Structure 1
Amino acid sequence: MPVNVPAVTDVTRTRRLIELLWRHERPQPVRPGPRPRVTVDMVVTAAIARADADGLDSVTIRQIAADIGVRPMTLYSHVPDKEALVTLMIDQCLVDMPPSAAPSPDRRDVLSAVIDGNYRWYLAHPWLIEAHTEQPPPGPGVIGKYERELAVIIPLGLSDVTTDAVLTFVLDYARAAAADTIRSRRAEQTNEQWWEAVGPVLTEMLDPSRFPLAHRIGSAAGARIGGAYDAEHSYRFGVPRILDAVDTLINGEFPDQVE
């Protein structure tokens, strides 16, 4: 379920959402009276826990209010609606994300750490795949993560535009691979169980002379990974190939520009 930042034409709503995203970066006025029983942080934390446990569809204002132990109307005084809540959840998850890469003279080690850090973070919070949008929340989590990961790419010596494109390239791979692994883990059967059921029947029905390549290569690959497909094996195979592509760009075999 893609979650978009509200249209910029809705100035009041957009300003309110951005103020919520940056609530810890600017001093908040001290209000008289007792401390509030519920805070934005409490709502966001409860919503992330609910999404981690039961998926993004389980996150509703009514459900999060019940998790906290308040009436739904109480939450509306802190977050305007579910769309805003999910936007806050995404940004907070990225605030909480540990840095992927430590400084290293080996650029492949650093880039590999960025890819793997993102891949593992998606696996820890699968709902982030559902919430992905091309219009990310303009909050400190998103921007801080972008800043940290750009700092890893900058030493490659590419132009600013290509630096951004390389980062997008490796992050897109991590997200796509994580989505594949998440789908595989949610399947009713494991690949091994599926192959145990399908393999003997397919062997009986398939004519190797008609499909010689499929038979030869499929048999070799299936024996190696224990089934027709293994998402994590595919991810591990792909990471060095992604790094090879970046190496090719850095070594000047492709022009340092994005058309």
Structure 2
Amino acid sequence: MKKIISILLLLLMIVSCKPTAGKNSDIKQTASEYGSQEDEMKYYFTATGNEPFWGLKMGNDNIVFTSLIPGKEKLVFASVEAIKAMDANIKMYKVSNETSTATISIQQLECQNSMSGAISPYKVSIEIKNNSELEAKKIGGCGKYNTDYRLHDIWVLEELNGFKVFVTDFQRELPRIEINAAENRFMGYGGCNAISGSIFYEKDLLRFTKVISTLMACAPGNKEGEFTKALQSTTTYSIENNRLTLSNPSAKLLVFKKVD
């Protein structure tokens, strides 16, 4: 009898130790106070606030407001174009649906979460009301733009100021940049020196800032200076067919090819 019990216990131990890899997805979802990684890929701007708790997700298709406010637990609005202030980096969105209206203001101003203490680069103010209410409820919080995840890669230069580039235009190889979209930073090779810096991202806006490089002397005719000047003149971008095109209102500046 004892032998049978021992065998049963051994079988139970084997079953309980069975690997559970099949139960868990290989894709790990990360989350922050602004939502999941999936939210950050779908929505270009996310914001949160306290007292009462609320959340805001803004995408190209819709704007989603959630809260603990009675009657405003979840409101979905169609996306609209921003109304921009002339004298400050403030964007205003006036939205409405069949039950509610809201005015959302996003200001580029350092903002601290009143509970977590986390610092965000944007201050958000919202005036929201149901159509049956006479006065709008005013709430505030902090937010951030979610950098386009498609930028997160290594890009090698193909065109500079409208002309195809060749290795002979630079020191030993073509310029390249590696963009870290999660940290809003980049690093790479300018055609002679190593370069690095930060990126400033808003919806449809991309700038390369705080660019620094090593101080190696470059051969005459090297186009590194032309390349870094174009990089720092960028304001907009597009991604298509594994190509990253950087431009400003005056011209197409740089075209990169995605590499693995």
TM-score (norm: length of structure 2): 0.25
TM-score (norm: length of structure 1): 0.25
Larger radius of gyration: 2
**Higher normalized strand content (fraction of residues):** 2
**Higher normalized helix content (fraction of residues):** 1
